[in-house]
Amino acid sequence: MEMTLVWVIARRELREALRRKWLWLFAVGFAVLALALSQAGLASAGYAGLGGFGRTAASMINVILLFAPLIGLSVGAGVLSGDRERGTLLYLMAQPVSRAEIFWGKALGAVLAVACALSLGFGLAALGLASARDGQASVYLALVGYTLLLAFASLGVGFMIGALSKKGATAMGTALLVWLALVFAGDLGIMGMTLALRPAPDVLLVTLLVNPLQVFKLGAILGLRSTLDTLGVAGQYAMYRFGQALPLLLAGLLCAWTVASFGAAFALFNRKGDV
């Protein structure tokens, strides 16, 4: 696989992604909310014993849970399916490039586009915190890192959807349904299962760890508070079971989600015989 060709395709994909108005709509929406939360958190600093940075980070976790998967799924779903529908993918396949170079070039370009979109929000929030000289750089950077891992994992799932879809509208609709299932059905399903079945702490923890959004939430809260007591029995059991290794485990799970989803997407793309 020629890395030069991969990079050429990645740059083209990055330019195409940055031209999409809906990507900038998501990015600006996330940026505005992040900046507003940083200012609101600082304005209420010290209230109820919680500092401005703590309020900002805690509020941003909920915003990230909505925006990061949505951006990743939307971008990923539209890359392969959109090029297939426009005939661009067929044109690329006719050139002296391999399927691997096309796929990984597009994946790299999409990763860079998602990182740019999220960086806008985090950059504005960081400026808001820096202007008031409030915040903890290590905690904030950890939150940024977990967010990027969640977005990349969602991007890989989006690529899986795009690899299976022939039309961009179908892929985007499927991505939206997956987003709704992960964001809303995930939390409601866990709550319903807990109330109905009253599972053991280890079973409940496994249920949380199979959802990348819940893994992100565990990692973000742990980085902010250094404890998971606010999550109840499952959080306490996680701290007891894994201790100091828990942050690495959570980051590793998000990395595993990213690798597995992109690997599955490449396998699906490589098997598809129409283009």
How do residues 90-138 score in pLDDT, each as one tens digit?
888 888 888 889 999 999 999 999 998 888 878 877 776 666 555 567 7
Q: What total number of domains does the chain contain?
A: 1
- On the question of pLDDT at 47 being above 50, the answer is no
Residue 52 — pLDDT band, cuts 50, 70, 90?
Answer: low
The pLDDT score that the predictor gives to residue 257 is 93
The pLDDT score that the predictor gives to residue 65 is 87
Residue 83 — pLDDT band, cuts 50, 70, 90?
Answer: confident
The set of long-range contacts for 7-11, using a CB threshold of 8 Å and a minimum separation of 24, is: 7/105, 7/108, 8/105, 9/92, 9/97, 9/101, 9/102, 9/105, 9/106, 9/108, 9/109, 10/105, 10/106, 10/108, 10/109, 10/112, 11/109
Range of the domain at 198: 3-271
- On the question of pLDDT at 46 being above 60, the answer is no
Q: How many helices (H) and strands (E) does the chain have?
A: 12, 0
How do residues 164-210 score in pLDDT, each as one tens digit?
888 888 999 999 999 988 887 667 777 776 777 676 777 777 777 88
Which DSSP state fits 133?
T
- On the question of pLDDT at 2 being above 90, the answer is no
For range 232-253, the mean pLDDT: 79
* Distance in angstroms (rounded) separating the CA atoms of residues 262 and 160: 7
What value does the mean pLDDT of the chain take? 81
| Whether 35 contacts 21, CB under 8 Å | no
- On the question of pLDDT at 8 being above 60, the answer is yes
Which DSSP state fits 185?
I
For 152, the enclosing helix (H) or strand (E) is: helix 137-164
The pLDDT score that the predictor gives to residue 30 is 81
Placement of tokens 């050429």 in the chain: 8
pLDDT above 90: percentage of residues in the chain: 22
